[in-house]
């Protein structure tokens, strides 16, 4: 009918103890008048109720201990997650800095490329001028040779 309980190292463990209907219940007062009234059974029920209340108290304590452990675990996880979040924030900042650095390099490369194009245009212009000068020199050289050849003849 009622259960008896014992506590082990992991918490509370129930050990069932049943009162057999055919066994007499021992009472402290064993007079014929008390057994007729049922005081013995009432006292036994009270003792069992006290045991049940003690068990409920142990269950409550066990639940409080479990809740405390869960709170501790949750707090540890919260700290770990906050640390991970901070690391990710730093990684994000690093990525942003790297992207900015890459964009700066792209801009610098573009500037250098534009300058290289300008230098190429200048080289072509100067080459064209040199080709023009070379052509003039060749023409003048040809005239001078013709003049020399005509004098020699």
Asked if residue 129 belongs to a domain, the reply is no
Q: How far apart are CA 58 and CA 79, in angstroms?
A: 31
Q: Which helix (H) or strand (E) holds 60?
A: helix 39-152
Say how far apart CA 106 and CA 104 lie, in whole Å.
5
Residue 136 falls inside a structural domain: no
Domain assignment present for residue 31? The answer is: yes
User: 19 is in which domain, residue-wise?
Assistant: 3-106
In this structure, what DSSP letter does residue 56 have? H
Averaged over 144-153, what is the pLDDT? 86
pLDDT digits (tens, 9 = 90+) for 54-110: 999 999 999 999 999 999 999 999 999 999 999 999 999 999 999 999 999 999 999
| 123 lies in some domain | no
Residue 34's pLDDT is what? Answer: 53
Q: What is the dihedral of CA 61, 67, 70, 71, to 10 degrees?
A: -120
- Mean pLDDT over all residues of the chain? 83
- pLDDT class for 148, splitting at 50, 70, 90? confident
The structural domain count of the chain equals 1
- Does residue 28 have a pLDDT over 80? no
What's the pTM? Answer: 0.47
- N-to-C CA span, the chain: 151
Q: Which comes out higher in pLDDT, residue 19 or 90?
A: 90
């Amino acid at each position: 009918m009622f259960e008896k309980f014992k506590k082990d190292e992991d918490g509370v463990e129930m050990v069932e103890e049943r009162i057999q209907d055919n066994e007499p219940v021992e009472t402290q007062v064993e007079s014929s008048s008390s057994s007729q009234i049922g005081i013995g059974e009432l006292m036994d029920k009270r003792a069992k109720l006290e045991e049940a209340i003690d068990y409920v108290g142990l269950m409550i304590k066990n639940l409080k201990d479990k809740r405390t452990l869960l709170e501790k675990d949750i707090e540890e996880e919260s700290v770990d997650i906050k640390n991970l979040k901070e690391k990710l924030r730093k990684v994000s900042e690093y990525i942003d800095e790297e992207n900015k650095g890459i964009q700066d390099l792209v801009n610098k490369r573009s500037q250098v490329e534009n300058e290289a194009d300008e230098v190429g245009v200048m080289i072509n212009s100067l080459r064209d001028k040199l080709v023009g000068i070379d052509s003039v020199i060749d023409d003048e050289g040809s005239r001078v040779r013709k003049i020399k050849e005509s004098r020699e003849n």
